[in-house]
Amino acid sequence: MRITMSLLAAAALIVMARGAHAQAHAHVNEPAHAPSGVRVDVNAAISALVDEEDVDGDRKITIADCGGPHTTRGDKKFLLRSVDGRRLEVSGTYYLSNLLQELTLARERGEDTADIAADRIFEAPTLHLSRIIRDVCWSGLTRRMDAGGLHAILADEKMTARGGLTYVYVPEEDTAAVGYYRGVVSGKAFDTVRLMTVPPVMTEKFLHTLDGRHGILSLALAAGAGGESTPVPFVVPGGRFNELYGWDSYFITLGLIADRKFEMARSMVDQHVYEIMRYGKILNANRTYYLTRSQPPFLTSMARAVYETMEKNDVSRAWLRSVLIAAIREHAAVWMGPDRLTRTGLSRYFDTGTGPCPEVEAGHYDDVFANFARRHRMTPREFEQAYRRGAVKDRELDDYFLHDRAMRESGHDTSYRLVGRAANLATVDLNALLYKIETDIAELLRDEFSGALSIGEGKTVRSTEYAAMAVKRKVLVNTYLWDADSGIYYDYDAVKRARTGYLSAASLYPLWAGLASPEQAASLVARALPVLELPGGIASSSEASRGAVSAERKERQWDFPNGWPPHQMLAWEGLRRYGYDSIAMRLAYRWLYTMTINAVNYNGTITEKLNVEARTHDVFAEYGNVGTKFSYITREGFGWSNASYQVGLPLLTPSMREALDRLVPPEWLFTP
């Protein structure tokens, strides 16, 4: 693959693009004589700008705002009036949306009049989007479970408790937390909030008591300046995901580190350590309905990334020790425990709960219940109610929910790769992640703790133990998951005793984990990557593996043609690990171009996933696309998408970055 990257060539391509893409894309060309800035009446400017250019009334300025032939509304030309009477023209969707964003930020600062700088309005796209992520989005996604932030966290659109009450659950052994939250919820502002405790051993009986009164689970406290307890902050994914999530947090942490927000990155690790020590595992998220379920494990990778930013001394080593103890505990009790260890010696995703998942959107299981209702000669509603209260039994439906819950622990909910069989599968992604954890623990024990670490209760663990575990897992992965004929890793069905043959982005995880041999890596690059690589980045699966979709067989969000930020970042790093830097740059450019063109055309929109075949954020499979609902300016973006932008930009060469600012499509830069 040859990369054509001279600035002269890029400029020539821009000229070629004028005719072909002028309608579809908002090309960015900074005005030759832009004024340095202008002082404006903020509210008047917003009102006039929205009235003239927000034709569809969504409180954004996008390429969808098109006026009729006999009106100036939506003509993408706006005269910005200064307080001293000057009128300055701003033209083009991108520049107008930047103006709207800057005016909105000024209004949020409480400014009646404000100096609007030209370099902010006419800022290059990569600089603008990266700055908004760094200065606005991370703050918009930061939460604290204190008196000021608790109400926002308690509001959970995924679940409504009975009786108009909301619940805060605290580990009963965490006496400091019990005392803190008892004080918080005693105020008048929390008269509908009830404080509950979680026992150290969560029995099935306790879990059943949560029905109808699910709530938020408390997280770590720290000592404040005066010695009082204060909740540790954390960053949420965004939108309807308004709590601390498991695997999202790893990628969010990488983004925080890229933006030098080191203390917040450390807080993210501390919160996951707290979950393991108090709730037994890193949770899908800190809600009670997730107590039976984890998510893909990234703790040691998070810790290593944060530890690299810390000064090496006794304090940082003590911190690392606490993380390792938690990681060792979770590895043994959860991922190598009887629920998740398969007969192959490899691990699977699982959920120890039963029945429908409480957090799914209303109506999500309607088709499932309708299919089984016919078998029982009942209406769908009658059957659902009877099944939920245990009045009707159906073993096949029980199995469906067993697999559905396991799929949700995988984070890939939903995908035809996992539907109806997730709990039977030793998956490539999970076992690559566990190999990475085992090698991380082995290396950290060797390099930072002289090869051995006391973890309490008279037990000492050694680097050699975890190195041996990693070697054993690698042998098992090559035995069960590596398909020599196709030269690709596939999930293994432990019930059918066969590989599934379903090609997904998970097949690339062994590159990131360092599990693949150089020969296996070369095979993945030659055989898997050409199928998964689409114009906008890496697809979640191949189209052939997904199969045909129809009204009866609906599209799944974790399948072709959709691409997700974690898959992109893992692929970039995995390819770089094996020396395929130019391919990693090409893939990063594809993804960043897709993010950038959508942000330029749609008022800075940053969404949780993208259609990488069509390079659009218009993805409406299953749950829609989080990140599209905002007014005037995106205050959150989406956690791991924000991170992918900040992590991806440094991978580009200066000439690639220049081309991206000029919105040069990938196919004009990368030639066979």
Place of tokens 């209760």: 457
Say whether 222 sits in a helix, a strand or coil.
strand
Query: How far, in Å, CA of 102 to CA of 45, rounded?
Result: 11
Give the separation between CA 363 and CA 375, rounded to whole angstroms: 20
Tally of CA atoms within 13 A in the half-sphere of 628 that contains its CB: 15
Residue whose entry in the numeric block shows the structure tokens 């440094």: 650
> In whole angstroms, what is the distance from residue 221 CA to residue 218 CA?
9
CA angle 559, 62, 613 (to 5 degrees): 25
Distance CA 90, CA 82 (A): 13
Q: Considering the candidates 53, 404, 608, 636, report the single residue annotated as catalytic.
A: 608
HEC-encoded secondary structure of 70-108: CCCCCCCEEEEECCCCCEEEEECHHHHHHHHHHHHHHHH
Q: Report in angstroms the alpha-carbon separations of 556 from 237, 315, 415, 483, 587.
A: 20, 46, 5, 26, 23
**How many CB atoms within 10 Å of residue 493?**
16
What span, in angstroms and rounded, lies between the C-alpha atoms of 171 and 160?
A: 22
DSSP SS3 for 115: strand
CA distance 329 to 486: 37
Q: How far is CA 307 from the centre of its chain?
A: 22
CA distance 272 to 268: 7
| Catalytic residue from among 413, 438, 440, 533 | 413
70-to-252, 450, 529 alpha-carbon distances in Å? 47, 77, 50
Cα–Cα distance between 632 and 600 in angstroms, integer? 14
Structure tokens at 467: 């190195």
* Closest to 437 measured CA to CA, from 340, 334, 328: 328
**Any alpha helices (H) in 348-487, and if so which ranges?**
366-375, 380-388, 395-409, 428-448, 463-480
For residues 173 and 213, the answer to whether their CB atoms sit within 8 Å is no
Question: Cβ(428)–Cβ(511) under 8 Å?
Answer: no
Inter-residue contact 511 to 522 (CB < 8 Å): no
Residue 511 corresponds to which amino acid?
L
Upper half-sphere CA count for residue 618 (Cβ side, 13 Å): 7
Per the annotation, the verdict on 65 as an active-site residue is no
Cα separation, 261 vs 231, in Å, equals 18
Query: Does residue 608 carry a catalytic annotation?
Result: yes
As annotated, the active-site residues are: 413, 608
